[in-house]
């Protein structure tokens, strides 16, 4: 018996189960994965570990409780699992037997931030990064200190807050007796440890430049003896680096990075590199592939995109496997270590979020999302070109079966200068081509990211309310090559604006859009472009700007990475204030006539709330139609990982505004 489907609702975002990175057991027979759920009543999230066989069988919940269990790691013999458990905002490392039983707390660390633990080859120790967070008053941990003394250029960070004097360092923890050993020290941040196959050394990432805050992208791979000693740098090109992984023979390290530390974030492709312990120049395995080796796709069903997936070696050391973002999709690639063309193993409209490998045949477990599903576990028996991952779960099957979803239509249009722009159109589920519909134009953040072949609850919600939803990848986006991503450097609001407005014109030509009912919205850089658009045209009847940028000059002094803006704009703000002003939407605020809803989080360190305050005050003083929603305690990630009730409230106000004006 078929069940009548219903429209997508705002609070459906709290009903989804969000998949983390699946991890294969060393023998490839079992898959472990984190699964997050929202606890709407208590206004928080829980995350538990689930287990399932690789070949056949159902997934079963493995850990329980009002906790966040994350970063699971199998012991080399497959008999134990280490993971990080966070309860009441305090994290510790736990162990649990693979065949079940109670999880045992292994670490006794002071409150702080723990980086995912990794096992020594003999299974006797765990290596991890750890940052102690100083608490000013142990009796009242939320009480601020009497004063904060700041001496660093980089003194705050999105998602963390003010940086205390402590640093991230590498530690080992004895599995037998819980003995803690600190391996690195000094005034540097050391992260992402990886144990060598012989168990003698640990590789990690660190920027040990004497003026690291002024050379933030000049990171290196360091090697430290597992028993303690002085770290030694592995010769590699200058540039950002992440997630080192040892070759099976222990003679090479694969890592993610690029060799252009002078450039702004996202304008250069992150590639997979190989560095040899025998010396010689590091090798870019993707030198001829003009695409990033990471998932840069934006969605609202998980935290922000970025380098979370490490490159993984084949069992025989002949290949390195990686994710590659390509024009809205994210696929699994295989890179020959001895040279040769990178090979795309998968294809189609999908986003591979994460993957793991195990066994001599390189069995793979993958997390895959698509435009109609936020993510499920898939498997591959032997990854090879043309392979088709096998779907193993339907984590949200029951909910999705109830919802009337809109399947996006991908299309391409020509911008003002003929440049081809990738776009998608989402129609209301009950679309009637004889009717005229309002349009909501969504603009992504970054700017160097991409919209793509993934599930986006906000878009589905708008379509369910009767809006046609347009979203595009204008110049500045990633996934279409470095030249495309770099096209707007030092010139925001020009080519990107032309690309976006050409997309609106292309959709209007289809004949089913009411030209008098156009809306525009976006977050972060998407908020910047929303502000820019309403300051340059009255074409839209309503706009919603979220966690936005309004004044590039003031943002350079208030954002957690604002001091890096010269990489994007060519000069420091004090060297050419006029350049920053001309590219700031606030400079055109006097021309704004479009009713504008401003949504911002009070603890946003990436785009500080002073950006929203300036625009609101300017418009309100001029008696324009403007409203300001401030979310206490929330950060830049409100729409993706904010408190559950606040995520729903944000969506309800978005709908209210467009209903009022469109």
Percent composition of the chain: helix, strand, coil (DSSP 3-state, to 5)? 15, 35, 50
With vertex at residue 561, the alpha carbon angle to CA 557 and CA 564, rounded to the nearest 5 degrees, is: 85
User: Which residues, 6+ apart, have CB-to-CB distance to 8 below 8 Å?
Assistant: 403, 404, 405, 457, 460, 461, 463, 464
- Assess whether 524 carries a catalytic annotation: yes
- Assess whether 140 carries a catalytic annotation: no
**From the candidates 21, 73, 216, 524, which is the catalytic residue?**
524
Each as own residue / partner, the long-range contacts of residues 180-183 (CB below 8 Å, 24 or more positions apart, any chain) are 180/107, 180/108, 180/109, 181/228, 183/127, 183/224, 183/226, 183/228
Please, what's the largest Cα pairwise distance for the chain? 74
Q: Cα-flanking dihedrals φ and ψ of residue 640, to 5°?
A: -105, -30
Length of the chain as a residue count: 662
Side-chain-side CA neighbours of 148 within 13 Å: the count stands at 13
CA distances from 496 to 6, 346, 531 (A): 37, 31, 13
- DSSP for 164-227? -S---EEEEEETTT--EEE---SSS-EEEEEE-TTSSEEEEEE---TTGGGSTT--EEEEEETT
Q: Cα-flanking dihedrals φ and ψ of residue 205, to 5°?
A: -105, 135
User: Is-contact 62 50, C-beta < 8 A?
Assistant: yes
Q: What is the 3-state secondary structure (H, E, C) of 410-444?
A: EEEEECCCCCEEEEEEECCCCCCCCCCEEEEEEEC
Instruction: Provide the Cα torsion 329, 335, 340, 344; round to 10°.
Output: -30
**From the candidates 329, 636, 639, 641, which is the catalytic residue?**
636
Pairing state of beta strands 363-370 and 351-358?
A: antiparallel
Per-position b or e across 625-651, b if 16+ CB within 10 A of its CB: ebbbbebeebbbbbbbbbbbbbbbbbb
CA distance 604 to 162: 12
Q: Which residues are known to be catalytic?
A: 524, 636
């Amino acid at each position: 018996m078929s069940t009548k489907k219903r429209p997508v609702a705002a609070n459906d975002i709290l009903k989804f189960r969000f998949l983390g990175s699946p991890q294969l057991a060393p023998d490839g027979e079992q898959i472990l994965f984190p699964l997050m759920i929202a606890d709407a009543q208590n206004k928080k999230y829980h995350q538990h570990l689930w287990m399932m066989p690789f070949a056949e069988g159902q997934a079963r919940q493995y850990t329980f409780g009002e906790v966040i269990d994350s970063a699971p790691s199998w012991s080399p013999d497959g008999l134990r699992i280490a993971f990080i458990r966070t309860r009441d905002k305090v994290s510790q490392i736990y162990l649990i037997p693979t065949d079940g039983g109670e999880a045992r707390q292994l670490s006794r660390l002071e409150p702080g931030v723990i980086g995912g633990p990794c096992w020594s080859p003999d299974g006797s120790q765990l290596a991890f990064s750890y940052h102690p967070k100083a608490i000013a008053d142990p009796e009242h941990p939320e009480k601020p200190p009497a004063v904060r003394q700041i001496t660093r250029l980089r003194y705050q960070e999105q998602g963390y807050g003010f940086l205390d004097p402590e640093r991230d360092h590498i530690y080992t923890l004895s599995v037998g007796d819980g003995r803690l050993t600190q391996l690195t020290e000094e005034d540097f941040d050391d992260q992402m440890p990886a144990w060598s196959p012989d168990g003698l050394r640990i590789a990690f990432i660190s920027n040990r430049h004497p003026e690291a805050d002024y050379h933030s992208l000049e990171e290196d791979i360091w090697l430290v003896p597992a028993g303690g000693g002085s770290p030694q740098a592995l010769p590699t090109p200058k540039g950002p680096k992440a997630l080192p992984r040892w070759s099976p023979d222990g003679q090479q390290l694969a890592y993610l990075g690029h060799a252009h530390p002078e450039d702004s974030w996202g304008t250069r492709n992150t590639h997979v590199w190989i560095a040899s312990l025998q010396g010689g120049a590091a090798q870019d395995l993707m030198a001829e592939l003009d695409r990033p080796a990471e998932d840069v796709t934006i969605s609202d069903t998980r935290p922000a995109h970025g380098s979370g997936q490490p490159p993984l070696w084949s069992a025989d050391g002949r290949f390195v496997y990686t994710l590659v973002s390509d024009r809205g999709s994210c696929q699994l690639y295989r890179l020959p270590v001895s040279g040769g063309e990178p090979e795309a193993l998968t294809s189609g409209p999908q986003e591979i979020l994460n993957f793991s490998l195990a066994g001599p045949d390189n069995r793979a477990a993958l997390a895959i999302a698509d435009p109609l599903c936020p993510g499920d576990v898939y498997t591959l028996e032997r990854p090879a070109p043309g392979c088709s991952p096998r779907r193993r779960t339907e984590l949200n099957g029951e909910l999705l079966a109830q919802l009337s979803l809109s399947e996006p239509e991908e299309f391409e249009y020509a911008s003002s200068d003929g440049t081809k722009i990738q776009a998608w159109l989402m129609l209301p589920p009950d679309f009637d081509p004889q009717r005229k519909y309002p349009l909501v134009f969504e603009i992504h953040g970054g700017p160097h990211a991409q919209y793509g072949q993934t599930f986006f609850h906000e878009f589905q919600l708008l379509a369910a309310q009767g809006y046609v939803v347009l979203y595009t990848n204008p110049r500045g986006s990633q996934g279409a090559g470095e030249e495309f991503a770099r096209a707007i450097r030092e010139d925001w609001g020009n080519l990107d604006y032309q690309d976006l407005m050409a997309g609106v014109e292309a959709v209007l030509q289809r004949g089913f859009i009411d030209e008098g009912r156009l809306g525009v919205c976006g977050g972060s850089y998407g908020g910047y472009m929303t502000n820019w658009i309403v300051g340059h045209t009255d074409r839209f009847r309503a706009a919603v700007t979220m966690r936005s940028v309004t004044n590039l000059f003031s943002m350079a002094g208030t954002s957690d990475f604002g001091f890096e803006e010269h990489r994007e704009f060519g000069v420091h703000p004090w060297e050419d204030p006029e350049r920053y002003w001309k590219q700031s939407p606030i400079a055109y605020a006097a021309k704004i006539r479009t009713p504008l809803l401003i949504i911002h989080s009070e603890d946003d360190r990436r785009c500080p709330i002073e950006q929203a305050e300036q625009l609101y005050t300017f418009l309100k003083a001029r008696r324009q139609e403007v409203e300001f929603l401030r979310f206490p305690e929330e950060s830049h990630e409100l729409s993706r990982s904010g408190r559950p009730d606040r995520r729903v409230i944000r969506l309800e106000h978005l709908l209210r505004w467009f209903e009022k004006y469109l």
